[in-house]
Amino acid sequence: MTQIKTYTADTTSAPDLPEAYFFGYGSLVNRDTHHFRNAELARLKGWRRAWRHTVIRPVAYLTVIPDPVAEIDGLIAPVPAADWAALDEREGAYDRIAAHGQITHSLAHRPEIAVYTIPEGKHGAPDETCPVLLSYLDVVVQGYLREFGEQGVQRFFDTTDGWDAPVLNDRADPVYPRHRTLNEHERALVDDMLAERKVRLLTR
């Protein structure tokens, strides 16, 4: 497992240190999908990922759901001037909640850290009308591979619920607006992980 060093810091932070951070656990782990700088490896306790869809999107995305024994890898990054507008718009189906007390990180100060989650009762399980997009999953796995290696990709799959969901193979014509091009190794890794779980692929 990737080691995340922790430090003991004063409760009073230096005035020039950013005080607002987000924890990313899906596409935000892929640094090519956003412009937030100075991202750091981190780990969130008490939550696990799940595939869900909402009424505002006809496809499924990742959210986190409470699980007292779970722990997931991700990235934290500062939100400049605590201006959440752009990130809140990107994560429009989600609520932003405080999670700094549940996150392990290597920062020498103790910022406020938020995580995005779809509220209970406002999401449903994926199905053929609201499938997981392979173009989205590719982006997520590429991010985890770069940050945490193949063991991190394995942990991603192991700590995510809902692999009985159908996955729409849209690689040839990606639906996900932040899609990225994967190399042969990255594509094979995604395909192998899905095959191990006997995930059903849909064609367009």
Question: Please, are residues 177 and 66 in contact by the beta-carbon 8 Å criterion?
Answer: no
Give the pLDDT of residue 7. 35
> Residue 155 and residue 56: Cα distance in Å, rounded?
29
pTM: 0.88
Closest CA to 141 of 126, 124, 155: 155
Structure letter (DSSP) for residue 130 = B
- Dihedral (C-alpha) 117, 119, 122, 123: value to the nearest 10 degrees? 40
Residue 26: C-alpha distances to residues 13, 31, 62 (Å)? 29, 11, 6
For residue 128, count CB atoms less than 10 angstroms from its CB and return exposed for 0-12, middle for 13-18, buried for 19 or more. Answer: exposed
Chain centroid to CA 77: how far?
13
Phi then psi for residue 30, to 5 deg, are: -85, 110
Tally of CB atoms within 10 A around 116? 24
Give the pLDDT of residue 8. 36
Give the pLDDT of residue 92. 77
Let me know the angle formed at the C-alpha of 64 by 126 and 109, rounded to the nearest 5 degrees.
155
Domains and CATH numbers, the chain: 20-203 (3.10.490.10)
Give the pLDDT of residue 15. 55
pLDDT block averages, 10 residues each, the chain of length 204: 44 61 96 92 97 90 96 94 86 88 93 92 90 98 98 98 97 96 98 98 93
DSSP H helical ranges for 51-178: 85-90, 134-158
Give the pLDDT of residue 5. 42
> Residue 60 and residue 52: Cα distance in Å, rounded?
5
